[in-house]
Amino acid sequence: MENKKNSFSEWYNEIIEIAELSDKRYSIKGMNVWLPSGLRMMQSMDSIVRQELDSLEFREVSFPLLISREQLEVEFEHFKGFEDQLFWVTRGGKEPLEVDLALRPTSEVAMYPMFSLWVRTHADLPLKTYQIVNTFRYETKHTRPFIRVREIHFIEAHTAHATFEDAEKELEEYDSVFRKLCGKILVPVMRHRRPDWDKFPGAKYSIAYDAVMPGGRTLQIGTIHQYGDNFARTYNIEYTDENGERQYASQTTYGMSERLLASVIGIHGDDTGLIVPPAIAPVQVVIVAIPPVSQEMSSFVSEIMDVLKSKGYRVKYDDRDNYTPGYKYNDWEMRGIPLRIEIGKREASGRFLTVAYRTGGKMKIDIGDLGAAISGEIRRVEEEIYARAEGFQKNSVKFENDVEGIISFDGVSRAYWCGSKECVDRIEENSNKNCLGTVEDDGSEGPCVVCGKPGRLSSFSRTY
Amino acid sequence: MENKKNSFSEWYNEIIEIAELSDKRYSIKGMNVWLPSGLRMMQSMDSIVRQELDSLEFREVSFPLLISREQLEVEFEHFKGFEDQLFWVTRGGKEPLEVDLALRPTSEVAMYPMFSLWVRTHADLPLKTYQIVNTFRYETKHTRPFIRVREIHFIEAHTAHATFEDAEKELEEYDSVFRKLCGKILVPVMRHRRPDWDKFPGAKYSIAYDAVMPGGRTLQIGTIHQYGDNFARTYNIEYTDENGERQYASQTTYGMSERLLASVIGIHGDDTGLIVPPAIAPVQVVIVAIPPVSQEMSSFVSEIMDVLKSKGYRVKYDDRDNYTPGYKYNDWEMRGIPLRIEIGKREASGRFLTVAYRTGGKMKIDIGDLGAAISGEIRRVEEEIYARAEGFQKNSVKFENDVEGIISFDGVSRAYWCGSKECVDRIEENSNKNCLGTVEDDGSEGPCVVCGKPGRLSSFSRTY
């Protein structure tokens, strides 16, 4: 297949096709078909987030797809931000609709009028909800599976709080959820506070999680927005406080999309194919028997399956008889399955397994030890995947003392920046890099790389 | 609350609101907000079906929401059947789209052009897929939560087979999935082969699963369609057979919707509120402690929670301190939670539990026996729920020898029918009943209740 390092874009398209993640031959541009492996991986990520949010007492809801024009236009800044990207339903049956209906580009405007009904007094707060739905953007740019599509699988949390301070604290919960997810999908991320002109329409400020993709472009895979009372004032989300006074709620939101899957594919894969983190692998362990498959081998395979299933692992026995073991090895490696167990005559009679790691290397395990050893083996693959991803990220980020350095480096450039648009323009005019904003987890300060005024550590990269 | 028997419609609307299943105050008619309890129940049903279909080696996919007009119009009969119910997207951003795009009313037309790419030779067959998505119908009739809505939560399976015989066999698999689901949600169903004029647009024939709701109206909660090669010919789903000849595939589909939830609510509930089958209850066991709650009682509750959780049950301790036990009992009964555990001073010191069944009655269980007993207790509630539902259904179905009997009976009338439209018209003109078609699981024959010619056992009822 394509070489990942030299032609990432071609590699990415090829692996999505041959590993059967998505089919982009559907008749509408930027709307692709989720194939079983891609869908299962996404669903596993949904489950991880669902579990984390549930444990934080978020409540899952599901709002309608359509939003009326009247409702959308109430928050003008928000509407303006999406106006060029809305799909509009204008007819029902053969008749024009009385009011045009937009396919949700995001759900603030669908949800918040209901929030104003749900929130009455301080006892109703905090209100913490989330939903997992598809959102729609009429993209005119070049589309790319999981990265820029017109129908987007989306996880969005929305909250309302009594005070701005409570809303600020909520952002820490979001951060913990995101870090737990990234710990499972083994993707290292950077956290940036976006420049003011790049914040979400309607937000007080926006924090984004960016992952570095091969080639050095960054991919925004999650965002957190602090709304304060911006939307609450527009949509009348008010409550009666302890003193009987009416107050506006403060709100936050949190969003993640199928770009998570793009980061998993892009960051972990190699020239052999996908490498799928065990937590989201549709199959975590595949078993291949080397023909001729004796009765003894068959029962040994069953025994192994039973042990692994009883421990809750997703295991598959590839018993296709029209393929050689070599073909099967390649096939499952291409699909990125973390562990492969090879069973030959020797293994069955000796009652041991040969385990091959997708990240390289093999070892032998006694069947008696399998139950105790399996979680360690899985963990070993996870550690290897994460170490590689982290190493790649480290090599892709470089501190620069001058604009020329930012322009000439392919990856993410770090530099001090004063916060002004003019200084960013200087960089953007001379490179195809954007300012990702200030680095959230590093408060260090220094002279702006452009104007020399006091600045904060910031990132610049080409972006998807 | 409302009396279920005398004013079912009002009871139904009220319970949906107070049990927080759905909020219909959203600004678009027939598009409601799924609230956490309703959503969890639906998701549990999705999971049951997903598990059954996966075990039959169906593969889950997810197709785009939008279907181009060009693609829709290829199958004219199908298009005609939905034409009046389509929502049309005609604009993207500020520009008119080149081709109008419909929100899927169902997914044949989205899927089958892709099937024609996926199916090449007999080795690609059978192709068995399903998806769980929302579908859209521009309903002009009166809408009602979960029963007649404009955005419909939908489970749809679609297959392609080498021969018509294989396709016919597939229908048995569908039937087994449906029966397993109904076994879990404890809803008895009748299976009818719909009259030819009432089959799905594009189908050779349609089989429907009908449940009897309070008041005697039937609700179609599942359908199976035999397409033969109707769509395959239109969308070129062809394969090369063993002899190298090109053949059209034969196809089937299977659909279920949120109406499943409507049947659960309507059939099982009583004047106290919902009664939720344990398999889909968001909370299966609720624990209420009677104040004052001592340290001993608290640790006893934790011990009970641990036992139940370790067995995989969804259990909740209602530790709200601003409500009385009586209020909590009523609240959880209204929400239909199958089992309630009451813990007082006596229980904690005696190390036993008082268990109250949502279906009535109480019993005491020693904490040492809880782990072994709990599945039996759950089963006991299930049996009671099913027995009531079955009893209700039996009383709602009556055999009739004359048209007058059919007209005067409120429930489902069974009668022999010759198959002609004219005879059905006679019945439909004189009552508000429709012909559900012939009874699939009863081949008995007799003289048509209208014309006296040879007929088959058929059903007539008012329908939703």
* DSSP codes joined into one string, B64-132: -SEEEHHHHHTSHHHHHHHGGG-EEEEEETTEEEEEEEEEPSSSHHHHHHHHHHH--BGGG-SEEEEEE
How many other C-beta atoms lie within 10 A of the C-beta of residue A430?
12
- Give alpha helix (H) positions in B186-281: 230-235, 259-268
Rounded to whole angstroms, the Cα distance separating A334 from A261 reads: 16
- What's chain A's average pLDDT? 96
**Angle, in degrees to the nearest 10, between helices B164-185 and B36-55:** 140
Residues paired with residue A62 on neighbouring β-strands, in sequence order: B34
Question: What does the DSSP assignment read for A289-303?
Answer: EPSS--HHHHHHHHH
pLDDT at A81: 87
Residue of A159, A157, A158, A139 whose CA lies nearest to A149: A139
Question: How many Å lie between the alpha carbon of B130 and the closest alpha carbon of chain A?
Answer: 10
Nearest to A178 by CA among A126, A252, A256, A106: A256
pLDDT band, very low/low/confident/very high, at B443 (cuts 50, 70, 90)? confident
Helices B259-268 and B367-396: crossing angle in degrees, nearest 10, is 100
Q: Which residue would you say has higher pLDDT here, B140 or B256?
A: B256
Q: Share the mean pLDDT of chain B.
A: 96
**Tens-place pLDDT, residues B210-224:** 999 999 999 999 999
Which residue among A25, A83, A93 sits closest to B138, beta carbon to beta carbon?
A93
Would you say B253 and B226 are in contact if contact means Cβ atoms under 8 Å apart?
Answer: no
Contact B33/A85, CB-based, under 8 Å? Answer: no
Residues 6+ apart with CB under 8 A from A387: none
In the DSSP assignment, the letter for residue A70 is H
Q: Which pairs from A378-381 meet CB under 8 Å and 24+ separation? A: A378/A278, A378/A284, A378/A313, A378/A338, A378/A339, A381/A278, A381/A338, A381/A339, A381/A357
Q: Which of A61, A71, A86 sits opposite B34 (nearest CB)?
A: A61
Distances (CA, A) of A375 to A318, A339, A381, B175: 22, 11, 10, 39
Cβ-Cβ contacts under 8 Å between A and B: the total is: 134
By Cβ distance, the residue of A60, A71, A88 closest to B27 is: A71
Percent of chain B with pLDDT over 70: 100
Q: What is the pLDDT of residue B41?
A: 98
What per-residue confidence (pLDDT) applies to B78? 80
B323–A contact, CB cutoff 8 A: no
Q: How far is CA A142 from the centre of its chain?
A: 20
Distance from CA of A227 to the nearest CA of B (A): 22
Adjacent-strand bridge partners of B129: B59, B158
- Of chain B, the end-to-end C-alpha distance in Å amounts to 23
CA separation for the pair B47, B21 (Å, rounded): 18
Residue B145: which of B230, B243, B266 has the closest Cα? Answer: B266
Phi first, then psi: give them for residue A79, nearest 5 degrees. Answer: -60, -45
Chain A closest-CA separation from residue B261 CA (Å): 15
Put simply, the answer to whether B34 touches A62 (Cβ < 8 Å) is: yes
Low-confidence ranges of chain A (pLDDT < 70): none
Q: Within the 171-190 window of chain A, which residues sit less than 8 Å (CB to CB) from chain B?
A: none
Q: Do A88 and B87 touch (CB under 8 A)?
A: no
Show the tokens assigned to A96.
């024009």
Q: Which of B35, B60, B101 sits opposite A28 (nearest CB)?
A: B101
Give B140's pLDDT tier (boundaries 50, 70, 90).
Answer: confident
How far A183 CA lies from chain B's nearest CA (Å)?
Answer: 26
Provide the shortest C-alpha distance from residue B104 to chain A (in Å).
Answer: 12
Q: Do A28 and B68 touch (CB under 8 A)?
A: yes
Surface-to-core class of residue A92, CB atoms within 10 Å of its CB (0-12 exposed, 13-18 middle, 19+ buried): buried
Quote the CA–CA distance of A209 and A224 in Å, as a whole number.
Answer: 9
The pLDDT confidence band at residue B434, using thresholds 50, 70 and 90, is very high
Residue A116: partners with Cβ closer than 8 Å, 6 or more residues away: A235, A236, A237, A238
Helix, strand or coil for residue A129? strand
Rounded Cα distance, B377 and A324, in Å: 51
How confident is residue B303, by pLDDT bands cut at 50, 70 and 90?
very high
pLDDT tens sequence across B365-406: 999 999 999 999 999 999 999 999 999 999 999 999 999 999
> What's the pLDDT score for residue A275?
98
Contacts of A89 in chain B (CB under 8 A): 87-90, 103
3-state SS, residue A139:
coil
Cβ neighbours of residue B408 closer than 8 Å, sequence gap 6 or more: none
Which residues in chain A are closer than 8 Å to B94, comparing Cβ atoms? 83-84
Query: Cβ–Cβ of B101/A85 closer than 8 Å?
Result: no
Question: Which of A46, A47, A51, A62 is the best mutation test for B, with the most CBs of B within 10 A?
Answer: A62
pLDDT score at B2: 86
How many CB atoms are located within 10 Å of the residue A425 CB? 12
3-class secondary-structure state, position B283: coil
Supply the pLDDT for residue B131: 98
- Which pLDDT value is given to residue B81? 87
**Chain A positions in Cβ-Cβ contact with residue B36 (cut-off 8 Å):** 59-61
- The residues pairing with B447 across neighbouring beta strands, listed in sequence order, are B454
- Strands of the B362-366 sheet, one edge to the other: B315-317, B285-289, B339-343, B352-357, B362-366
| pLDDT score for A441 | 86
Minimal-distance CA residue of chain B relative to A72: B27
pLDDT attached to residue A319: 96
Residue A44 one-letter amino acid: S
Task: Assess contact for A460 and A434: CB atoms under 8 A.
Answer: yes
- Phi, psi at residue B273, to the nearest 5°? 145, -150
Q: Which residue has the tokens 């598990």?
A: B51
Chain A segment 76-135 residues within 8 A of B by beta carbon are 83-94, 100-101, 103, 110, 113-114, 117, 134
Token digits of residue B409? 């009976």
Q: Which residues of A touch B90 (CB under 8 A)?
A: 88-91
Three-state DSSP state, B360:
coil
In the numeric block, the tokens 């489950």 are attached to A47
Mutate to test the interface with B, among A69, A91, A258, A320 (most CBs of B within 10 A): A91
> By the CB < 8 Å criterion, does B64 face chain A?
yes
Distance between CA atoms of B284 and B336, rounded to whole angstroms? 9
Is the Cβ of A64 closer than 8 Å to some Cβ of chain B? yes
| Dist CA B422 CA B17 (whole Å) | 43
The widest CA-to-CA distance across chain B, in whole angstroms, is 80
Residues in chain A within 8 Å Cβ distance of B27: 68, 70-71, 113
Of A443 and B187, the structure prediction assigns the larger pLDDT to B187
Contacts of A113 in chain B (CB under 8 A): 27
pLDDT computed for residue B1 by the predictor: 81
| H-helix segments, A31-134 | 36-55, 69-73, 76-82, 108-118
Residue type, B119: V
DSSP code, position A223:
E
Which of B89, B122, B154, B261 should one mutate to test binding to chain A, selecting the residue with the greatest count of A CBs within 10 A? Answer: B89
**What pLDDT does residue A37 have?**
97
Nearest to B248 by CA among B125, B159, B163, B158: B163
Q: Does B155 touch chain A (CB under 8 A)?
A: no
pLDDT at site A2: 86
Residue B131 in tokens: 């998806």
ipTM of the complex: 0.96
Cβ contact (<8 Å) for A36 and B61? yes
- The closest of A354, A357, A283 to A313, measured between CA atoms, is A283
Task: Please report which confidence band the pLDDT of residue B77 belongs to, taking 50, 70 and 90 as the band edges.
Answer: confident
Query: pLDDT tens, B142-185?
Result: 999 999 999 999 999 999 999 999 999 999 999 999 999 999 99
Which of B28, B54, B149, B258 would you mutate first to test chain A, the one with the most A CBs within 10 A? B28
Question: DSSP characters for A286-350?
Answer: EEEEPSS--HHHHHHHHHHHHHHHHTT--EEE---TTS-HHHHHHHHHHTT-SEEEEE-HHHHHH
Chain A's closest residue to B21, CA to CA, is: A61
Residue B136 to residue A65, Cβ atoms within 8 A:
yes
Helices within B288-366 (DSSP H only): 295-310, 325-334, 345-350
Beta bridge partner(s), residue A354: A342, A364
Dihedrals φ, ψ of B269, to 5°? Answer: -60, 165
User: Which tokens is B267 given?
Assistant: 């059939």
Euclidean distance between the first and the last CA atom of chain A, given in angstroms as a whole number: 23
Say whether A60 and B66 touch across the interface (CB within 8 A). Answer: no
